[in-house]
Amino acid sequence: MKARIVALPGDGIGPEVTNAAEQVLDKVSNLFNHDIQIDERLMGGVSIDKNGIALTEETLADCLDADAVLLGAVGGPKWDDPSAKVRPEQGLLTLRKEMGLFANLRPVSTHQKLQDSSPLKNELLKGVDILVVRELTGGIYFGEPSCRSVNQNGNLYAVDSMVYLDYEVKRIVELACSLAEDRQGKVTSVDKANVLESSRLWRQIATEVAHDHPKISFDHLLVDAAAMHLITKPSNFDVLVTSNLFGDILTDEASVLTGSMGNLPSASVGTNGPGLYEPIHGSAPDISGKGIANPIGMILSAALLLRYSLKLEQEAKCIETAVNLALHDGCRTIDLQQHENSLSTKQMTKAIIDRMRNNIT
Ligand code: NAD
């Protein structure tokens, strides 16, 4: 198969982990005889430095024209001035909106050999296999008005608006239900319906969608309770569907189950068009340039790209199996094991690539 991928390495550790994913995709091309072309473009702080904006029209057009987009991470202290008009995250938010990526899929599963890397008790981590489906183009990250001003008493105030339209809730919950059909058939919808009007609409629409999926076991949970259940009984969850803000926070929390934030991949998909694949972590300025970033979240994001955008299931499995084998064999970056024998990003990437096999030839 022939495919063109746009890679946006971004800032901080973004380029370090993107390079790892590119090597893995090259190996897939060689093993399975595909022609996967990868074109790198600037996005985020690096694009602000060169072009004055986080995402240029040309780069956006290139992304829309590609079969899929791979993204490292954006942001960092250099561009962190809160009063700045141009910010790295603007590129990411524009990209998600323009590509129509309304759903962010974040699989969270635990590896038996990594249980000691998590601060949680081992017995809580057994059998954890959660798919978080986060709404990505609505809610408080996009709602209007969003502004700062001064009120009549001279107090500075700021407003963000959590807005949800019925069809936005319907399509994300529909997707969660259809994904659950291929899993354990259980969906938990997370909201804050006891306080927020937007959450009451969310719950109403989610309930209607659930009625159309009688085979799915469907329940609702308030976000505060969900935050607690994620670390007290995580193996009870199958598919968890929630809004943009709640999903952002809950998946960072869920990453603790896996031992490190560096392990978690994500896929952002829309109705059609290319998907966007990125690890859930940020640009990690504290370790950037040291060559020690964990590349697994990024490499597993490349596997999701093969699965969802290119429909190459065997190839996706080949990467996931190689990651599992490397972890099974004790390969660890420093975030997973504070040890003098910890592997660098390059060594971990090589350990994974060395374990990739084409089992269908
Ligand atoms: P972060 O995810 O960058 O880092 C949090 C902690 O996890 C840090 O200690 C970091 O060293 C560690 N970590 C993250 N990824 C790792 C990896 N692959 N290997 C080893 N350790 C890893 O979050 P932050 O510190 O809150 O944010 C830093 C910058 O990243 C900010 O500018 C933020 O806006 C940006 N950010 C970008 C994205 C994105 O591009 N999608 C997401 C979140 C944060």
Same domain, 130 and 238: yes
Alpha-helix runs per DSSP H in 5-133:
14-32, 45-51, 57-65, 88-98, 122-125
67 close to ligand 1 (CB < 6 Angstrom): no
Same domain, 126 and 98: no
Mean per-residue pLDDT over the chain, rounded: 95
- Which pLDDT value is given to residue 361? 58
Concatenating the DSSP letter of every residue in 247-262 gives HHHHHHHHHGGGT-GG
- Which pLDDT value is given to residue 315? 97
Task: Supply the residue whose CA is at minimum distance from atom 10 of ligand 1.
Answer: 284
Q: Are 304 and 267 in contact (CB under 8 A)?
A: yes
Rounded to the nearest whole angstrom, what is the distance from the C-alpha of residue 360 to the centroid of ligand 1? 37
What is the count of structural domains for the chain? 2
Same domain, 19 and 96: yes
Which two tokens mark 313?
């299931």
Ligand 1 atom closest to residue 76's alpha carbon, by position in its atom list: 32
Same domain, 146 and 250: yes
Q: What HEC string does 279-311 produce?
A: ECCCCCCCCCCCCCCCCHHHHHHHHHHHHHHCC
Handedness of CA 269, 26, 280, 227 (dihedral sign): positive
pLDDT tens digits for range 66-112 = 999 999 999 999 999 888 899 999 999 999 999 999 999 999 999 88
Domain final residue, candidates 258, 287, 304: 258
262 close to ligand 1 (CB < 6 Angstrom): yes
Cα 270 from Cα 292, distance rounded (Å): 33
Same domain, 270 and 253: no
Does a structural domain hold residue 314?
yes
Q: Which residues are catalytic?
A: 141, 192, 224, 248, 252
Domain final residue, candidates 232, 258, 284: 258
Q: What is the pTM of this model?
A: 0.92
DSSP class of 164: -
Same domain, 191 and 246: yes
240 close to ligand 1 (CB < 6 Angstrom): no
Concatenating the DSSP letter of every residue in 105-124 gives EEEEE--GGGGGGSSS-HHH
Q: Mean pLDDT throughout 179-199?
A: 97
Tokens 């109403």, residue? 204
What CATH number is given to the structural domain containing 212? 3.40.718.10
For 211, other C-beta atoms within 10 Å of its C-beta total 8
CA R_g for the chain: 20
Q: Are 121 and 256 in contact (CB under 8 A)?
A: no
Task: Supply the residue whose CA is at minimum distance from atom 11 of ligand 1.
Answer: 284
pLDDT interval class at 61 (50, 70, 90):
very high
Domain final residue, candidates 220, 235, 258: 258
Ligand 1 atom closest to residue 73's alpha carbon, by position in its atom list: 40
Same domain, 275 and 301: yes
Does a structural domain hold residue 112?
no
User: Can you give the residue range of the structural domain that contains 162?
Assistant: 119-258
Same domain, 154 and 182: yes
Same domain, 270 and 254: no
Rounded to the nearest whole angstrom, what is the distance from the C-alpha of residue 249 to the centroid of ligand 1? 13
Rounded to the nearest whole angstrom, what is the distance from the C-alpha of residue 177 to the centroid of ligand 1? 30
Query: CB within 8 A of 255, min separation 6: which ones?
Result: 108, 261, 263, 264, 280, 281
Same domain, 95 and 164: no
Same domain, 154 and 238: yes
In this model, does residue 314 exceed pLDDT 90? yes
Cα 315 from Cα 322, distance rounded (Å): 11
For 258, other C-beta atoms within 10 Å of its C-beta total 24
Does a structural domain hold residue 114?
no
pLDDT tens digits for range 125-149 = 999 999 999 999 999 999 999 999 9
